[in-house]
Structure 1
Amino acid sequence: MLSGCGVYSFSGTNIDPAVKTISISTFANNASNGPSFLAQRFTEDFKDYFQRNTTLKLVPRDGDLQFDGQIIAYDFAPAAIQQQNGQDQAGSNQLTIQVRVKFTNTKDPKQDFEQTLQTTRPFPATRDITSINNDPTALRELFRNIITDAFNKSVANW
């Protein structure tokens, strides 16, 4: 009979069988430009992703795996500057989100990390920040990029 040191699943996780719970604290919104709902929506998406992709039980605090952090940047800026009628204009706009993520594995502290994860997405020049903030699909895509990076680094061991 073969045995291994970890548990592998079809979702790509490598979670020790001793790990049963996960706690995810609300990510504070420390980005000066971020909308008021940013922390809550990001945290809920983070929890949902881990609940869908692992069998870990979500607990309010002191989980075997623990996440906390802060949203440190939410920057909307013109990109692809073009000349039109002798004036510089944005050919597109770009939204960049940075999140400082702290991961603690109480069963294996060698897996712990603290890292800033970033994602950027271009938007047409016709889209302003208000329309993007009111578009849950656009924000979820940006959040998912960061959450997937945190997931891969913490439980997929990539």
Structure 2
Amino acid sequence: MGFYKVVVLTFVAAIFGGCYSFRGIAIDQSITTFYVAPFDNRAPNATPTLAPDFTERLKDKIRNESRLIFSDTDPDVEFTGAITGFQVSAEAPQPGEQIAFNKLTITVAVDYINNRTTDEKLKITKITKSFYSEFPSDQNLLDIQDALILTITTQLVEDIFTAAFTNW
């Protein structure tokens, strides 16, 4: 009887495991290719490499975590956009206190274009995302900027991927 239960449970797990994903990715089967256009850098204080690095991270995310193939010729879906914000701000202290943390915030505006849909309302989806990371006020931003940017852009790429490809 125990062997029978194991076989049945394995069968059920295999069936439902193929139908469900905890990531919730829901890409229409007719969509097979994607393109990520080089992102513009519209944030005056941003590092010169931020936009190209962000573009590559988004490409890598889609390439590695979906079945889509990169194509710059007649892609099924496209991502275009810009880095629109790169701000360093001090966390507001209480009266009489010193500032303990600064915050680096990066904002990205993305157009997700579905070239395969016939529904004009679904053709272009505008996605704007911001994320920040705090750092001690006694640290120089230039010394930790690369690590902060990596942390922030990794989360922004995850948020954009989720907004474009999931039903959550």
TM-score, length-normalised on structure 2?
0.78
Give the conservation status (yes or no) of the 8 Å contact 2:127–2:163.
no
Aligned-partner SS, 1:81: coil
Q: Which runs of 5+ in 1 are unaligned?
A: 1-6
Determine the structure 2 residue equivalent to 1:3: none
1-side partners of 2:94 and 2:141: how far apart?
A: 20
Match of 2:40, as an amino acid? Answer: A
- Please, what is the CA RMSD of the aligned residues? 2.1
Match of 1:114, as an amino acid? Answer: K
Determine the structure 2 residue equivalent to 1:92: 101
Higher relative helix content: 2
Match of 1:90, as an amino acid? Answer: I
Percent pairwise identity? 29
2-side partners of 1:106 and 1:8: how far apart?
A: 26
Determine the structure 1 residue equivalent to 2:165: 155
2-side partners of 1:59 and 1:146: how far apart?
A: 22
User: What's the CA shift for 1:91?
Assistant: 0.9
Give deviations 1:54-80, integer Å, cap 9, x for gaps: 010011253101000000000011114
Which structure would you say has the larger Rg? 2
Higher relative strand content: 1
User: What's the CA shift for 1:111?
Assistant: 5.8
- Tell whether 2:25 aligns with 1:16: no
User: What's the CA shift for 1:43?
Assistant: 0.8
Report the CA distance shift for 1:62/1:126 in structure 2 as closer, same or farther (over 3 A): farther
1-side partners of 2:106 and 2:63: how far apart?
A: 23
2-side partners of 1:104 and 1:60: how far apart?
A: 13
Q: Which runs of 5+ in 2 are unaligned?
A: 1-18
Report the CA distance shift for 1:74/1:103 in structure 2 as closer, same or farther (over 3 A): same
2-side partners of 1:61 and 1:122: how far apart?
A: 40
Which structure 2 residues correspond to residues 52-91 of structure 1 after superposition, within 5 A?
52-81=64-93, 89-91=98-100
TM-score, length-normalised on structure 1?
0.83
Question: Which one of the candidate residues 81, 106, 114 is aligned to 2:115?
Answer: 106
Aligned-partner SS, 2:163: helix
* Aligned residue-pair number: 147
Deviates further, 7-16 or 20-29: 7-16
2-side partners of 1:140 and 1:71: how far apart?
A: 14
User: What's the CA shift for 1:157?
Assistant: 2.5
Give the conservation status (yes or no) of the 8 Å contact 2:89–2:104.
yes
Report the CA distance shift for 1:61/1:24 in structure 2 as closer, same or farther (over 3 A): farther
